[in-house]
Structure 1
């Protein structure tokens, strides 16, 4: 965030800013695989005006969060895609299956940098209300995932 004040952690002696205390979350929009949205009409059945209204809502939401310093990045995803694997030297194999395909599951994502988990949930709920068919809110389920900030620890 702009204007962060550096401070020293008393326990470690390391320098960091208030910005370091922010938490990054992934807001993941699904095509399917989540519970059905209230306004459950697939986007490929929307009118061009409904798609435009939805996209404008998403842009306005991102612009507002950019203004508060909470927006990191976000993208809608194209339905095209491939699976690639390295088998060592040479050209990697490329296939369109038979894997569970994220292109069939994930519509897009947004990364936010917020003060706490509650703020992430509040913003996800707001994003869930983007308009869909008939201009009515979708009320879709969004997956809210925190970024891993430290390697997991193993306890015995």
Structure 2
């Protein structure tokens, strides 16, 4: 088994196929999207492939160490930006192929007018103790 992060990127600007920004969806369309996500997680819980997941608030803060003491803090990212991390899900699957299959299915979550949003998901394996900086 290998753990993968499915990182959901919300694109505020028009995206690939279903290009209606989420802030323009009707409340029932948002509810259907959230239900799809919950049903997906519940199904993966039953197969033992679901580890964890969370939706993220659109408000955020950038922080970095400046080498001088107190880190500078800047507002952002903002929901109006082109790309915003909307949430994540961790899965534990038998193969990379299964991770790709599940990411593709999650990408089909409904959006405006009930149409699949075809969102891009970032699929990232967790770094294992077997990896080295130089191989």
**TM-score normalised over the length of structure 1:** 0.74
Deviation at 1:81, TM superposition (A): 1.1
Task: Pick the aligned partner of 1:75 from 41, 54, 61.
Answer: 54
Partner of 2:92: 113
Deviation at 1:37, TM superposition (A): 3.0
Contact 1:83 1:96 in 2 (8 A): yes
**Residues 78 and 149 from structure 1, CA distance in 2 versus in 1: closer, same or farther, beyond 3 angstroms?**
same
Alignment of 1:4-23 (within 5 A): 22-23=1-2
Alpha-carbon distance in 2 for matches of 1:69, 1:123: 13
Partner of 1:135: 114
**Residues 145 and 102 from structure 1, CA distance in 2 versus in 1: closer, same or farther, beyond 3 angstroms?**
farther
Contact 1:57 1:130 in 2 (8 A): yes
Deviation at 1:74, TM superposition (A): 0.8
Q: Computing the radius of gyration over CA atoms, which structure comes out larger, 1 or 2?
A: 1
Task: Pick the aligned partner of 1:125 from 104, 114, 128.
Answer: 104
| RCO higher in structure (CA 8 A, sep ≥6) | 2
**TM-score normalised over the length of structure 2:** 0.84
84-93 or 24-33: which moved more? 84-93
Residue correspondences, number:
130
Structure 1 gap ranges (5+): 1-21
Deviation at 1:86, TM superposition (A): 4.1
Contact 2:56 2:85 in 1 (8 A): yes
103-112 or 52-61: which moved more? 103-112
Q: In the TM superposition, what whole-angstrom CA distance separates every residue of 1:75-126 from its partner, at most 9, and x where no partner exists?
A: 11101111223457965432226xxx38642111111000000000110111
Contact 2:59 2:78 in 1 (8 A): no
